[in-house]
């Protein structure tokens, strides 16, 4: 029976990563495709390769997801992981189907916390680790917004007087770079979440 549970955990983790891929990865290339900076085929290949390379880059996110939510790894068994993964997968599919923007990270962290809370109680949770993750989940949109505001202000200051015909080709090429960076960072962040659950 334990082998069946372990196989189920791995299959669900891979399913979560796959669903996370079609749920979130398109965000990295959507603007580059819509502005025709990249062809759809090239954009998908670029996103796939860079997501894979990002996943192989480091294991920091996997270690955080795997070790910072509960006090001891021995407290987490296969049924808890299965419940957490099913909850995260269900939420990702529901929000995708309804067209509601949502975070796979929030879904997975919430699934793990909820499953551990029911199975082992609040004393099994590592509050310092949870607060660290929650701070990142809440703070990242704010940091991104402020960074975007700063960069856009600088760009308007530098290029505000230039004609669109002169600057658009340059910005189109820069979109390829930003799409590549987004795809790589998605792989280095999101793909590792399933690794953290499996390990």
pLDDT recorded at residue 59? 64
pLDDT recorded at residue 63? 63
pLDDT below 70 — which residues of the chain? 1-2, 58-66, 198-199
Question: How far apart (Å, rounded) are the C-alpha atoms in residues 75 and 92?
Answer: 26
The SS3 of residue 125 is: strand
Sign of CA dihedral 22, 23, 29, 34: positive
Is the separation of the CB atoms in 19 and 12 below 8 Å? no
Is the separation of the CB atoms in 116 and 66 below 8 Å? no
pLDDT recorded at residue 19? 86
pLDDT recorded at residue 2? 67
Question: How far apart (Å, rounded) are the C-alpha atoms in residues 124 and 58?
Answer: 27
pLDDT recorded at residue 153? 95
């Amino acid at each position: 029976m334990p082998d069946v549970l372990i196989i189920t955990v791995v299959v669900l983790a891979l399913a979560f990563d796959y669903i996370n891929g079609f749920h979130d990865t398109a965000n990295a290339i959507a603007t580059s495709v819509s502005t025709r900076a990249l062809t759809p085929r090239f954009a998908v290949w670029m996103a796939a390769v860079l997501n894979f390379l990002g996943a192989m880059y480091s294991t920091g996110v996997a270690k955080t997801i795997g070790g910072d939510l509960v006090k001891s790894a021995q407290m987490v068994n296969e049924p808890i992981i299965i419940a957490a993964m099913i909850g995260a997968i269900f939420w990702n599919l529901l929000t995708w189907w309804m067209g509601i923007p949502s975070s796979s990270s929030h879904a997975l962290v919430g699934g793990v916390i909820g499953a551990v809370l029911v199975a082992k109680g609040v004393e099994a949770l590592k509050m310092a680790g949870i607060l660290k993750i929650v701070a990142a989940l809440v703070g990242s949109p704010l940091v991104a917004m402020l960074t975007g505001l700063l960069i856009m202000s600088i760009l308007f200051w530098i290029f505000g007087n230039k004609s669109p015909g002169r600057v658009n080709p340059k910005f189109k090429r820069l979109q390829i770079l930003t799409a590549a960076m987004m795809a790589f960072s998605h792989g280095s962040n999101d793909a590792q979440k399933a690794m953290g659950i499996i390990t």
